[in-house]
């Protein structure tokens, strides 16, 4: 597949890296010669220096026979015009744009991105995606990751194994003996910064981060098995009243009326504006690092703080202060990848990466075959994929022990008629089953082939 990526920032670079690893023909456009040099030096991708919405620059990048354009420059208008040019002049089939400015996305202007006006197939709003990701993590206290899959029939959960976790130092194959009623499959471990695709002989150790797939009805039991029995927060404090903080507060007011939320926002005008848009959320104007403001917000009796200002250092320091004052849990927005390795050594419970969330959202629209969703778990680790098994797939019709799965692929769940099946050697996948699997970055292309429509079958 030939893809043009507009913008070589963190998101553009990571999308290009993912696509290049999978042997796609990728060209990146950016105005910065240094950014393009970095692309050419580190990725198997082409680079073009220029303005991403100019027709001659797009033509130089090879857009005339491209399958897709992904526009993720820092300017919404450049992204929108690049997609318009790609459609009107070059008839590119698929156009994806990142749009941050919420006024473009207001329901009243929904017709803007229709085929007759500005024909963009997929609009990605990072702020909305991040607010949804934070909201998901609030639903499972004790987890640092939670992704619903297959119409919420199964969930991927990420937890840290503490010293008192009952499951540490136990071979994974014994989990079914210990918990015969529990539909759970460990699909990945993070140990000392290294990713592990576990075998049945591996053990979880204290300090590991474990990713598991579980039946949605059994999340509480699975968390208890890991030693996590925290209750859902009823008092929530949001640091930062930008778009993410506002969207999160609106979602909590809409879907979690039992939660009492407060927002601390530095800018007086912004604080007044969001206060007028919210009904039950208390808005406090002040500095999130000011002890008196934190005391006024009753941080000591707050179960969870969510730090979503536009400054990483402020988010980290405010989270640590809140924990010092007695808050039980901190969810922290961190843009810079350089801070990620430090999170577990600090007292931050959940780190949220807008870059990873945006890349995951975009990749869902890039994958081929009957792939319904894709989620990047960790930088360079791999992806959780939800796909539909086709009659032509080599997975279908024989016991899993006889299926030669690529190394680096681990089946987490099969969902048939709304019921989760834990994959075993004797399990036979049927056509139209939904399959949830984890795949390392190197074997994504092979997974796509397993779920692609083979035309010769027809």
| Higher-scoring residue by pLDDT: 263, 258 | 263
Query: Measuring CA to CA, how many Å separate 326 from each of 87, 264, 298, 319?
Result: 54, 17, 10, 11
110-to-75, 87, 113, 117 alpha-carbon distances in Å: 20, 19, 7, 11
Q: Write down the CATH superfamily of domain 130-225.
A: Regulator of K+ conductance, C-terminal domain (3.30.70.1450)
Sign of CA pseudo-dihedral 413, 156, 359, 254: positive
pLDDT at 354 over 60: yes
Instruction: Give yes or no for residue 458 having a pLDDT over 50.
Output: no
For residue 454, pLDDT beyond 70? no
What mean pLDDT comes out for the span 382-407?
87
Q: What is the mean pLDDT of the chain?
A: 88
pLDDT at 117 over 90: no
Class of domain 2-124: alpha beta
What is the band of 330 on the pLDDT scale with cuts at 50, 70, 90? Answer: very high
Q: What is the pLDDT of residue 71?
A: 96
pLDDT in tens, 198-220: 888 899 999 898 999 999 999 99
Give the tokens for residue 19. 């696509």
Element housing 20 (H / E): helix 10-21
Which of 50-59, 226-235, 444-453 tops mean pLDDT? Answer: 50-59
Same fold, 130-225 and 365-457: yes
Note the pLDDT of residue 280.
Answer: 92
Indicate whether 456 pLDDT > 60: no
Q: Which residue has the tokens 């290009």?
A: 16
pLDDT digits (tens, 9 = 90+) for 18-50: 888 777 899 999 999 999 999 999 999 999 999
- Cα distance from N-terminal residue to C-terminal residue, the chain: 23
Q: How do residues 146-160 score in pLDDT, each as one tens digit?
A: 999 998 999 999 998
pLDDT at 455 over 50: no
Highest mean pLDDT (candidates 11-15, 54-58, 350-354, 429-433): 54-58
Phi, psi torsion values for 298, nearest 5 degrees: 60, 50
Q: In whole angstroms, what is the distance from residue 137 CA to residue 352 CA?
A: 10
Domain boundary assignment for the chain: 2-124, 130-225, 235-357, 365-457
Hey, what CATH class is 365-457 in?
alpha beta
For residue 91, what pLDDT is reported?
92
Domain range 235-357, its CATH number among 3.30.750.24, 3.60.20.10, 2.160.10.10, 3.40.50.720: 3.40.50.720
Q: Which of 253-267, 268-282, 329-343, 351-365 has the highest mean pLDDT?
A: 268-282
Pairing of strands 145-149, 154-160: antiparallel
Torsion angle, alpha carbons of 355, 358, 359, 365, to 10:
180
For residue 197, what pLDDT band results from cuts at 50, 70 and 90? Answer: confident
244 and 308 in contact (C-beta within 8 Å)? yes
Listed in order, strand segments (DSSP E) in 319-433 are 329-333, 350-352, 371-378, 382-388, 409-416, 419-421
The pLDDT, as a whole number, for residue 173 is 86
Q: Residue 457: what pLDDT?
A: 36
Average pLDDT rounded to a whole number, residues 173-179? 83
Q: Rounded CA gap, 386 and 371, in Å? A: 6
Burial 291-303 (b: 16+ CB within 10 A, else e): eebbeebbbeebb
């Amino acid at each position: 597949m030939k893809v043009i990526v507009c913008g070589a920032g963190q998101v553009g670079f990571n999308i290009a890296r993912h696509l290049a690893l999978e042997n796609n023909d990728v060209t990146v456009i950016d105005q910065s010669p240094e950014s393009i040099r970095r692309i050419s030096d580190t990725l198997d991708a082409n680079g073009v220096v220029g303005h991403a919405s100019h027709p001659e620059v797009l033509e130089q990048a090879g857009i005339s026979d491209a399958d897709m354009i992904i526009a993720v420059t820092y300017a919404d208008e450049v992204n929108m015009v690049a997609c318009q040019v790609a459609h009107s002049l070059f008839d590119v089939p698929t156009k994806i744009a990142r749009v941050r400015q919420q006024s473009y996305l207001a329901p009243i202007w929904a017709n803007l991105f229709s085929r007759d006006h500005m024909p963009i197939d997929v609009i990605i709003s990072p702020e909305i995606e991040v607010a949804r990701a934070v909201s998901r993590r609030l639903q499972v206290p004790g987890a640092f990751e939670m992704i619903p899959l297959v119409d919420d029939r199964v969930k991927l959960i990420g937890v840290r194994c503490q010293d008192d976790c009952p499951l540490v130092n136990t071979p994974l194959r014994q989990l079914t003996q210990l918990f015969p009623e529990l539909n759970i499959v460990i699909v990945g471990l993070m140990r000392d910064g290294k990713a592990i695709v576990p075998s049945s002989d591996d053990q979880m150790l204290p300090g590991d981060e474990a990713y598991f797939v579980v039946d949605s009805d059994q999340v509480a039991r699975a968390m208890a098995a890991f030693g996590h029995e925290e209750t859902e927060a009823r008092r929530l404090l949001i640091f930062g009243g930008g778009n993410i903080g506002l969207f999160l507060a609106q979602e909590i007011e809409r879907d979690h009326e039992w939660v009492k939320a407060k927002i601390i926002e530095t800018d007086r005008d912004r604080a007044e504006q969001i206060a007028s848009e919210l009904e039950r959320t208390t808005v406090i104007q002040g500095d999130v690092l000011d002890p008196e403001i934190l005391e006024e917000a009753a941080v000591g009796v707050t179960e969870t703080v969510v730090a979503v200002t536009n400054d990483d250092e402020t988010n980290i320091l405010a989270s640590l202060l809140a924990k010092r004052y007695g808050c039980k849990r901190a969810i922290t927005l961190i843009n810079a990848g350089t801070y990620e390795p430090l999170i577990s050594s600090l007292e931050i419970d959940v780190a949220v990466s807008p870059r990873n969330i945006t890349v995951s959202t975009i990749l869902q629209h890039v994958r081929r075959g009957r792939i319904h969703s894709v989620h990047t778990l960790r930088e360079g680790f791999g992806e959780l994929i939800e796909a539909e098994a086709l009659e032509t797939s080599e997975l279908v019709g024989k016991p899993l022990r006889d299926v030669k799965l690529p190394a680096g692929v681990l089946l987490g769940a099969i969902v048939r008629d709304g019921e989760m099946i834990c994959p075993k050697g004797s399990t036979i996948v049927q056509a139209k089953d939904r399959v949830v699997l984890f795949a390392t970055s190197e074997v994504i292309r092979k997974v796509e082939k397993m779920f692609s429509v083979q035309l010769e079958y027809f």
